[in-house]
Amino acid sequence: MRYTAIDFETAIGKRWSICQVGIVAVKDGRIVREVTKLVKPPNNEYSQWNIQIHGITPEDTINSPTFAEIWEEIKPYFENRLVVAHNAAFDIDCLKKTLDYYHLPLPEFKVDCTYKRTKQKLDLACRSLDIQFTNHHDALADARACAQIYYKLLIRD
């Protein structure tokens, strides 16, 4: 079984304002690749509210590439894959709106949601499944937690 777990952090209250990407590729129950990127959101604009959540600031991303500049590198983790997120409705909408913002086509992929499956917040789902979890709201840490949750749910079924 192959899947990609993802998480996005946003800079403002707009879903096209991705400022960090976390990707974890899983094959046969093993993490085979992890990717994290800081991304310069449009105008490098941040809200104080979002900064308080994830700790990423305009200074952190001033020299980072835009999402459009990293898309070709990360697109293979999405194309024709099963993409898993904790609250996929948010993360997939971020992807769609960001691709639309940059006039990039959305690839074909399937989606599953660990939040819908567990009905728990990410930290609580990790605790209930005995998954070590630190650094909440770091996109890579959240994607890694999601990947582990999904695997535990697969082997439990």
Ranges of each domain in the chain: 2-156
6 phi/psi in degrees, rounded to 5: -130, 160
Burial of 85 (0-12, 13-18, 19+ CB in 10 A): buried
What would the mean pLDDT of 127-152 be, rounded to a whole number?
Answer: 96
pLDDT at 87: 97
What would the mean pLDDT of 6-23 be, rounded to a whole number?
Answer: 98
pLDDT above 90 (res 156): no
pLDDT at 157: 64
Task: Give the fold, CATH level 3, of 2-156.
Answer: Nucleotidyltransferase; domain 5 (3.30.420)
pTM value is 0.95
